[in-house]
Chain A
Amino acid sequence: MTAGEGGAIAPSIITPLGDCAVTIQIGDRADPVIARRVRALAADIHAAALAPVRDVALGYAALTVWYDALHTDYAAMVSALEPIVAAAATRLGAPATSAVTGREHVISVRYDGPDLEEVAQRTGLTTSDVVSRHSGRQYTVYFLGFVPGFAYLGELDSALVLPRRTEPRPRVPAGAVAIAGAQTAIYPYAIPGGWHLIGRTAVNLFDPRRDPPATLAPGDRVRFVAVEE
């Protein structure tokens, strides 16, 4: 269903998501190349400014187009989207510029999360190794979702990859810096969560009075810097 880097590209799959949205599945896994294609296709759909489109939401390997079902139907929506999807597939080597020219962010993190020791034990590293591997690279914002301002960042150093916690916490504090799988993220709000908490930051990730309200945007690059206080 998906293409590896330089491999043959399987066609995208278009399916209804209920009666007001269409999902375009580009791949079947979290992967930087697929994520870039998702961002590029989202930019193309925005640029096409199709009248019934209400919103475009992104995931790792799929995007969803919300439309006004009172004024169009599923078949017409798919017909309008198909040429955009086909055109995007033919210029994979040159993704839309808007998808690659993100901003750079440097975020200060105090690495004192409640799971830092456990992450070190399970990965066979020292806590300072965990910190240097987490802060020692640049991440790309794949997409935002879950709750306002929550950015899925990848890819994590392969030595830090762990499955989610078996027992999610009922409440993860706002500002918690967390890892799970090959991803890292910051919790913008105090919400339940199953990721491993390794640090915290004071950065404000979402302010509904700003436009856009989220601090991070798909395609942006993020670097974490360890601070003592």
Chain B
Amino acid sequence: MIEITAAPPFLTVQDLGRPGYHAQGVPSGGAMDPWAFSVANALVGNVGTAAGLEWSLGSGRIQWHDAGAFALAGATVDATLDGAPVAMHRWYRAREGSVLALHRFAAGRFAYLACAGGIDTLPVLGSRATYLSARFGGLEGRLLRSGDRLEVGRSPVPLRGVGFTIPRELEPRYETAECRVVVGPHAALFGAESWSALTTTTYTIDSASDRMGYRLVGPPLQHQGHAALPSAPVCPGAVQVPAGGRPIVLMADAPTVGGYPVIAVVCSADLPLVAQRCPGEALRFRIVSVDDAQRALRRRAGAVHTIGQLVQGAAVRG
């Protein structure tokens, strides 16, 4: 069991989401940065569906009531375990009573804490992901508070020896501001000027950005015809263009349908680049084919799988 001894303002239980309920109006949700989330899980030998904690900005502390192992991934944070520095993308052993303190975010927006065995809250509609709008999933569908205690499942892999660090080339990296998009379903509503603007503008992330969507600041994109279409399904990564022309990138908890034209959709492999950008930071778009996007996604999944294999190998060798 772990206890949130000092809660940051935005801490939730997340996993890879609940993808099968769009027709009921339920977004797939889950971790904003599934790349980092999956890497953290792989580092502690968890299965991909295990739940962890999503920590967005702000400092806080977590205490282990039973010995366990954990890893941090995603945003670069200054953290200590019982006073000793904790590196990103490496697994650590926590003793009974150990305290993990996360002091500040040096870069990025979402850090993930994976505990060996996974956070064991009650799954809702097949997932432990917290969905705040409808108040279900995670712990009572809400943000975690100081004093909350969370059960941790049994570790599937006996982790031994010193913490394994993943090779640099397999680490999640977020330096590039350029993210790949595929052309959206309403591409024909946009003229050459809008396409030029979309692919040459350096956008900045607006402060009005959350788990539902990130607003972008940049020159408005003009669309021909109606600004409002009959509502149709949308997905995380969809770049919606409302009447004012200021694009919004839909994120994990976005509504399942939208009535604004979708000019492009951020590739699944690059949505973490968007997720990890803070208000005021830059973002550019580059158009690729769906085939290229899917190849990037498969490469990503392969890299996470490799980390899992390396961890298992390290565990066996002890």
Query: Which A residues have a C-beta under 8 Å from some C-beta of B?
Result: 15-21, 23, 25, 27-30, 42, 54-64, 66, 69-70, 73-74, 143-150, 152, 188-189, 191, 206, 208-209, 212-214, 218
Kindly identify which residue among B19, B23, B185, B297 contacts A25, using a CB–CB cutoff of 8 Å: B185
Kindly identify which residue among B231, B265, B268 contacts A145, using a CB–CB cutoff of 8 Å: B231
Beta-carbon contact of B297 and A19 below 8 Å:
yes
Known A61-B230, A69-B268; contact A150-B25, beta-carbon cutoff 8 A: yes
Beta-carbon contact of B24 and A59 below 8 Å:
no
How many chain-B residues does the 8 Å CB contact rule pick out? 43
Complex CA gap A90/B58 in Å reads 58
Residue of A nearest to B270 (CB): A19
Q: With contacts A69-B294, A74-B294 known, what are 19 further pairs, Cβ within 8 A?
A: A16-B182, A20-B235, A20-B268, A25-B185, A25-B232, A27-B230, A54-B19, A57-B256, A61-B232, A62-B230, A64-B232, A64-B233, A66-B19, A73-B291, A147-B133, A148-B134, A191-B133, A206-B25, A208-B136
Beta-carbon contact of B25 and A146 below 8 Å:
yes
Beta-carbon contact of B21 and A18 below 8 Å:
no
Residue of A nearest to B232 (CB): A59
**Best-buried of B133, B256, B265, B297 by chain A (most CB within 10 Å):** B256
Beta-carbon contact of B233 and A59 below 8 Å:
yes
Known A63-B233, A214-B25; contact A146-B255, beta-carbon cutoff 8 A: yes
Q: Please report which residues of chain B, range 217-251, place their CB below 8 angstroms from some CB of chain A when the two chains form the complex.
A: 229-235, 237-238
Closest 6 CB pairs of A and B: A145-B257, A59-B232, A18-B265, A57-B22, A64-B233, A60-B230
B310 to chain A, nearest CB (A): 20
Q: Please report which residues of chain B, range 76-103, place their CB below 8 angstroms from some CB of chain A when the two chains form the complex.
A: none
**Best-buried of B137, B183, B235, B238 by chain A (most CB within 10 Å):** B235
Complex CA gap A73/B182 in Å reads 14
Complex CA gap A76/B88 in Å reads 39
Complex CA gap A23/B233 in Å reads 8
Residues on B with beta carbons closer than 8 Å to the beta carbon of A152: 231
Complex CA gap A143/B20 in Å reads 15
Residues on A with beta carbons closer than 8 Å to the beta carbon of B233: 17, 21, 23, 57-59, 62-64, 145
Kindly identify which residue among B125, B230, B291 contacts A208, using a CB–CB cutoff of 8 Å: B125
B233 to chain A, nearest CB (A): 4
Beta-carbon contact of A64 and B22 below 8 Å:
yes
Complex CA gap A70/B238 in Å reads 20
Q: Please report which residues of chain B, range 238-295, place their CB below 8 angstroms from some CB of chain A when the two chains form the complex.
A: 238, 255-257, 262, 265-268, 290-291, 293-294
